[in-house]
Chain A
Amino acid sequence: MIPLQVVAIVLVGLGGLAVVAARDPLRQALVLGVYGLTLVILFVVLQAPDVALSELVVSTVAFPFILFTALAKMRDRE
């Protein structure tokens, strides 16, 4: 395992922890996007660019978007 891989794996671990530690759903959705970016770095470091691109578009656009709109809708109801 080269140092870069170790750094990437540690980043992913910290990112995952941060998602669990964020308690507010809106903040959690944002942190989840950042966590996705750490996974993108890991996939690039492990030489899987196709997977990295998929992860990038899903974790930073599609998934947060759906979470944000759902949260906004729920806030409306309150």
Chain B
Amino acid sequence: MSPRVRLGLFGVSAAVLACLFVWALTGLPQFGAFQGEYGRILNSAAGPERHVTNVVSAVTFDYRGFDTLGEEVLLFTAVMAVALLLREARSGDERRADAVRSDVVRAVGLFAVGPTVVMGLYVAAHGYLTPGGGFQGGVATASGLVLLYAAGRYRAYRAASPKTLIDFAEGTGVGTYVVVGLAGIVVGGSAFLENVVELGVKGTLASGGTIAILNAVSGLAVASACVLIFHEFLEELMTAK
């Protein structure tokens, strides 16, 4: 196909696409116009029903709790696949030196480890009170550990994330989610993921019933999933072939 024909073809299709695009834009609702009836209902129902102040957490861990379980299992499967593929393929035990040469990077980076981990835990723990939750807090906590490698040494990161403990935490996080779900059927006698715990006082850490538990265990699962993936990738990088 000659460049001229190509250009012509592109011109025609771009023009058609532009027309369709503009046509579609004119049919859109006004910017900011909210048409989700479901959202309005949840905004008024989540507080009284589940005693949480962050409605988003009520959606992820209760009204759409089953979807979140799917996401947990998805992450779990991805992590297992990474571990299976990379752990199998590695052989050598030699590690290369990776000391950080800049004192400033080391000082600032290592200083940030503690605050980052604390902030991650805070964001995770207060998921059903303020924006945040297990997922966000979990990744933030894991990123605090990554700083150990980025500003310190790989050995420090390895020491802070023992493989057996992380594997165990990952399995426990996902497993407990399922157990809490099943408790809804067995103890609650009704549906999967039905609340079976005291709802507590709205606005305090002791509120939300099963939302609080599911938030915590998914934080555990996400944090250990991230640490595990980072671990495998770093190991792959640091082990000399």
A interface list, Cβ under 8 A from B = 1, 49-50, 52-54, 56-58, 61-62, 65-66, 69-70, 72-73, 76
Contacts and interface: CB of A to CB of B under 8 A. Distances in A.
B131 A65 contact: no
Contacts of B135: 54, 57
Contacts of A69: 233-234, 236-237
Interface residues of B, number: 22
B69 interface: no
Contact of A49 (B31, B131, B234, B237): B131
Given A52-B131, A62-B139, A65-B146, 16 more contacts: A49-B131, A49-B132, A50-B54, A50-B56, A56-B136, A57-B135, A57-B136, A57-B143, A58-B139, A61-B140, A61-B143, A61-B146, A69-B234, A69-B237, A72-B237, A73-B237
Contacts of B123: 53
A57 B133 CA distance: 12
Contacts of B131: 49-50, 52-53
